[in-house]
Amino acid sequence: MSELLSVLLALKPLPQASPRAVTWWGRATHALFLQAIAQRDAELANQLHDAGQLHPFSVSNLLGRFGRRGELQPDQVYAVRLTACRADVCQALLNAFEPGGLLSEGSQVELDYHPFEVRPTSELPPELSQWRSQADYSTLASPYLLAAQSPPRRLRLQFASPTTFKSNEQHLPLPLPRLVFGNLLERWNAVAPLAFPPELQRYIDQCLTLNRYDLRTRAVTLKEGLLRVGMVGWAEFATLNYDRYWMSLIATLARFALYSSVGAGVSLGLGQIRWLEG
């Protein structure tokens, strides 16, 4: 059974879809995710709804080409990415794609009162396939922790959707190592069968540095008109004191980021991230 999952959902607007523009679809994809889980396991859906900040899942914004004012294009097939980093959530999500499930091909779903038809993922652009993956914790960590590979000295992460971190009651759209990898460590230890030692945070604080970056800020409107500013682009991190063991853990967290997402608001489409390996 999978413990880590990142899947794509292909959606085509139906003719009766409203031309009204939606600036951010994160709340709508969050609601669709919980509806899909609730169809087979209402208790689990309720648990996920009340999970607090460290959700064992994340959702993306609606991905694709929009009109000049953000309106849906009738000939466009859009994508939503849904992730899970706990075995029971993975299984419930996979069940939703089975025949009869809410997300099965040919089904009709709604996002913010806009009707869509679920289409085959083969209709999505090929470049989106890099966001689709399935694994378990042992296979994710084994390349580095079992010494099959030496961990890199530098890691470049792509922040594909606005990303921000809550620190001291403030939101910081900054890729500081202690924020990025500290949040990934917290998420890992909340769900992984084997927790990483708390001393890893000290290594992050003292030995990881922001090396290079190409970032810009982007503001999105969340629930009740709340404006949230996040960063998008990429950032490269490097170690000032290379240690194979600690960097193996760091590299594992970087791989884990594809499934967990990072920062505040991952259940609303923020913090979509992946390691640009190689």
Tokens of 102: 């809410």
Paired strand residues for 7:
82
Element (H, E) at 235: strand 227-239
Domain that holds residue 182: 136-275
Residue with tokens 């706990």: 86
Among 107, 134, 161, the domain-final residue is 134
| CA 61 to chain centroid | 10
Residues 244-254 as b or e (16 or more Cβ within 10 Å = b): eebbbbbbbbb
Residues 83 and 99 in one domain: yes
Residues 94 and 57 in one domain: yes
Residues 173 and 249 in one domain: yes
How long a stretch of residues is the chain?
278
Residues 145 and 224 in one domain: yes
With cut-offs at 50, 70 and 90, classify the pLDDT of residue 212.
very high
Residues 189 and 110 in one domain: no
Domain count, the chain: 2
Residues 156 and 214 in one domain: yes
Residue 217: is its pLDDT beyond 90? Answer: yes
Tokens of 126: 């090929």
CATH number of 264's domain: 3.30.70.1900
Q: Check: pTM over 0.85? Answer yes or no.
A: yes
Among 75, 106, 134, the domain-final residue is 134
Packing angle, helices 26-40 and 87-97, rounded to 10: 90
pLDDT digits (tens, 9 = 90+) for 143-166: 888 877 889 999 999 999 999 999
Gap between the Cα atoms of 232 and 22, Å rounded: 20
